[in-house]
Amino acid sequence: MEYYWGNTRRFHSLADYYKQRYGTRLQKVSVHAGFTCPNRDGTKGTGGCTFCNNRGFNPSYCHDEDSVSTQLEKGLRFLKRRYSRAKRFVAYFQAYSNTYDELEVLKERYGQALKHPEISGLSIGTRPDCVNDETLDYLAELAKKYIISIEYGVESCYDDTLIRINRGHTFSDSVDAIKRTAERGLHTGIHIIIGLPGESRKQMLQQSQIISQLPVHSIKFHQLQIVKDTQMALEYASNPDVFDFFEPDEYIDFMVKFLERLRPDIAVERFAGEVPPQYNLRKSWQGLRSDQMIIMIEKELELRNTWQGKYYN
Ligand code: SF4
């Protein structure tokens, strides 16, 4: 059976979305372009989000003491070895908030990446409260020539949770940024963390319907992990009972249900993240790679004869 997205896979993968839209696989090369974040420099807060330690999220080839072009060279070498089928690359501005500066500075940093002959575009990770119309208009102009996508750290659809994890923005900030981005024709992606303390399983699942109402093109899931040297690590050490982690089997079951309720045209970039072992303080998923998780979720979809969007309306 061929599904809504035009093939027989039971969920709409971002890799397939890219292939349909750009005719090839698209690989992201991470860069750390030296931006900071309003939740760390005092504009919104100083402590940062309770789960965040950027050293735990950046790939090993990515250091801000290297220029953007050196990071791209190192990243391209690494990725070509690892993903021999990758043909086109976009620079992934991943660390911190990559729209958080004057437009002239943004233009210069993005320009460094776009100058590279093997880079076809940009994927820009940022906070939803950190992007103004002027920047979006500029990115929409760039999108006429390059592949441009914006990824917002939404993390949760619930303000109580956002306060608890010290995000410093609300869910309505996310809705506003998503709408302003999508209405300019820009690819609009979001990140969500599954398993945040204070949310019931039912609330977590309901986010599938909430997100489906928004003009989102892609979604990246992160299972909650306790990362070394974070506020959350301290919270976990002093009060572990407030955390209710997903073990892999329950996570697969949850993801199947989430997908069933998710709008079928929303492409899934990833189901689970991998913090490097030296930063991961809770070892229960140890050894389980994110690509194995995809295989397990696809098997479960098949076993239950179900698919993304089956119960979406
Ligand atoms: S997760 Fe993003 S917004 Fe939060 S502290 Fe880290 S860099 Fe800043």
pTM, to two decimals = 0.95
81 Cβ neighbours under 8 A, 6+ residues apart = none
pLDDT for res 22: 87
- Amino acid 138 reads Y
127 close to ligand 1 (CB < 6 Angstrom): yes
Nearest CA to ligand 1 atom 5: 48
Residues of the chain predicted below pLDDT 50: none
Hey, whose CA ends up nearest to atom 8 of ligand 1? 37
36 Cα: distance to centroid of ligand 1 (angstroms): 9
Ligand 1 contacts CB of residue 40 (under 6 A): yes
The response to whether residue 99 sits with its C-beta less than 6 Å from ligand 1 reads: no
- Of 127, 155, 191, 196, which is best to mutate to test ligand 1, by the most ligand atoms within 8 angstroms of its C-beta? 127
Q: What is the pLDDT of residues 199-244, one digit of tens each?
A: 999 999 999 999 999 999 999 999 999 999 999 999 999 999 999 9
Ligand 1 within 6 A of CB of 222: no
As a whole number of angstroms, the distance between CA 111 and CA 108 comes to: 5
Nearest CA to ligand 1 atom 6: 52
Residue 25 has a pLDDT of: 86
Question: Rounded to whole angstroms, how far apart are CA atoms 239 and 188?
Answer: 36
Considering only CA atoms, which residue is closest to atom 7 of ligand 1? 96
The finding on whether 189 has its CB within 6 A of some atom of ligand 1 is no
Query: Which residue among 32, 37, 101 is best mutated to probe the pocket of ligand 1, counting the most ligand atoms within 8 A of its Cβ?
Result: 37
How many angstroms does the Cα of residue 160 sit away from the middle of ligand 1? 18
Ligand 1 centroid to Cα of residue 126, in Å, is 9
Residue having the nearest C-alpha atom to atom 4 of ligand 1: 49
Distance 279 CA to ligand 1 centre (A): 16
pLDDT at 285: 82
pLDDT of residue 56: 67
Ligand 1 geometric centre to CA of 191 (Å): 12
What domains lie within the chain, and their CATH numbers?
Answer: 14-303 (3.20.20.70)
What confidence score (pLDDT) does residue 256 get? 98
